[in-house]
Amino acid sequence: MAAELHVELVAADRSVWSGEATLVIARTTSGDIGVMPGHQPLLGVLESGPVTIRTADGNVVAAVHGGFISFADDKLSLLAEVAELADEIDIQRAERALERAKSAADAAAERRADVRLRAVAGH
Amino acid sequence: MGAQLRVYKRRIKSVTATKKITKAMEMIAASRIVKAQRQVAASTPYASELTRAVTAVATGSTTRHALTTEAENPVRAAVLLVTSDRGLAGGYSSNAIKAAEVLTERLRAEGKDVVTYIVGRKGVAYYGFRERPVAESWTGFTDSPTYADAKRIAGPLIEAVQLDTAEGGVDELHIVFTEFASMMTQTPVDNRLLPLSLEKAPVEQEAAETATPGRLMPLFDFEPSAEGVLDALLPRYVESRIYNALLQAAASEHAARRRAMKSATDNAEELIKSLSRLANAARQAEITQEISEIVGGASALADATAGSDN
């Protein structure tokens, strides 16, 4: 059994996911970062992007929009203003949102919808 | 039916209708308190994790930031007052407004100009009626605030704090809201949000207590840099504190409304009881009068017939 780290994925208004994981991959402002147990204490700013949490029973993918990653003592917290697990994302709705954002030329909304869709695809 | 009795019957009917309304409002408020409390609980993990992160940066680096630096000579302070959109909540809004007045007085005594920001229609109406200047106000969401609302409020406030004082910026940010202590107790409190005094935050103390004494916070690696992290972290921290204040205020509002509506319902019951007694007395009086009229009429008739016989 490989060493595990405890992950808490929390959004502003709820706790989204928590559990043990072997690897967490997230996108910070300076690039993707993978955190494994025993990593140096870390505090980073997250970009909008999918977060992959590798657990013993497979991957958990979530779409995260803005937030932070903080890691210390084998405890990792992902703080996001908005976070959704891939299972929770309504693909049709996200696609509609993407279309709408494209036609309205709303770059931020377009990226959010794109991240959602990629999170579902990566699942 | 006599005029008196009719008046009582009419009043009983109208009080009963009012009682139905207040009873319904009481029950709606009671169910919403639970929902609001759940929201407060749901937002706690984010707030405490965020506080931990802020502490980590504050202790792990010597970075100075506009939002954490105390102004040497503060001349202007912003006060964010959280009231409700709707009335019928007892003293809820007026207590919060009073607390804000006290705070404003205190800040003025310290030689600071006060800029007021208001959440909730009741506060806006209070300041509007007295023609006091309000820098900005937000309404329409006080009974179930969302994170987006908190973000909307935090934006201009943070901007004002970051602005230079000479250009109209503020040095301090205070928030006045009603803290939800329990179903029965809600107290208006004022907190200084900015500049951040880490010792004052209650979550902070908790974190300090749980940390093993004598052990230092681990040295963090910052991505992209300590300044960058702090720049992104502090506004989120302020947003989360405002969000928490809004949620607690919402829970307090529902609790205050429930209590106010409960006493209104009780009063209506009391009123119906005493009105029914009066109505009963009026009915009895009417019957007695009718009987004496009949008896009087009958005896007058009897007298008349007896007279004609003679």
Domains of chain B, CATH where assigned: 27-261 (3.40.1380.10)
The DSSP letter of residue B89 is S
Contact, A72 vs A41, CB < 8 A? yes
Handedness of CA B242, B247, B250, B255 (dihedral sign): negative
Position B288 pLDDT exceeds 60: yes
Is A30 in Cβ contact with B240 (below 8 Å)?
A: no
The pair phi, psi for residue B37, each rounded to 5°, is: -65, -40
Is B151 in Cβ contact with A41 (below 8 Å)?
A: no
Residues of B in contact with A81 (CB under 8 A): 147, 151, 236
- Which residue is closest to B53 within chain A, CA to CA? A70
pLDDT of residue B178: 93
Residues of A in contact with B220 (CB under 8 A): 41-43, 70, 72
CA B32 from chain centre, in angstroms, equals 13
Of residues B49, B147, B220, nearest to A79 (C-beta): B49
- Average pLDDT of A40-54? 87
Position B42 pLDDT exceeds 70: yes
- Which residue is closest to B247 within chain A, CA to CA? A13
The DSSP letter of residue A2 is -
Sheet with B186-194: list strands edge to edge.
B136-138, B113-119, B76-82, B172-180, B186-194
pLDDT of residue A122: 64
Torsion angle, CA of B198/B204/B205/B207, rounded to 10 degrees?
A: -140
- pLDDT > 70 fraction of chain B, expressed in percent and rounded: 89
Chain B nearest CA to A75, separation (Å): 11
Q: Is 3.40.50.150 the CATH classification of the domain at A5-86? A: no
Residues of A in contact with B45 (CB under 8 A): 8, 10, 15
The pair phi, psi for residue B169, each rounded to 5°, is: -80, 170
H helix intervals, A4-106:
91-104
Is B243 in Cβ contact with A45 (below 8 Å)?
A: no
Write down the domain spans for chain A. Answer: 5-86, 89-122
- Average pLDDT of A15-28? 88
The pair phi, psi for residue B89, each rounded to 5°, is: -130, 35
Query: Can you read off the two tokens belonging to residue A87?
Result: 């299972």
Q: Which of residues 13-32 of A touch B (CB under 8 A)?
A: 13-15, 28-30
Whole-angstrom Cα distance, residue A35 to residue A8? 13
Say if residue B195 is preceded by a cis peptide, omega within 30 of 0: yes
A111 three-class SS: helix
Residue B143's nearest CA partner among B122, B116, B125, B157 is: B122
- pLDDT > 90 fraction of chain B, expressed in percent and rounded: 52
Is A70 in Cβ contact with B224 (below 8 Å)?
A: no
Position A4 pLDDT exceeds 80: yes
- Average pLDDT of B122-145? 92
CA B45 from chain centre, in angstroms, equals 24
Q: What is the pTM of this model?
A: 0.82
Residue B256's nearest CA partner among B170, B197, B177, B201 is: B177
Span B203-258, pLDDT tens digits? 444 444 444 444 455 677 787 777 788 888 888 888 989 999 999 999 999 999 99
Query: Can you read off the two tokens belonging to residue B266?
Result: 């009780």
Rounded mean pLDDT of chain B?
86
Is A72 in Cβ contact with B223 (below 8 Å)?
A: no
pLDDT of residue B201: 43
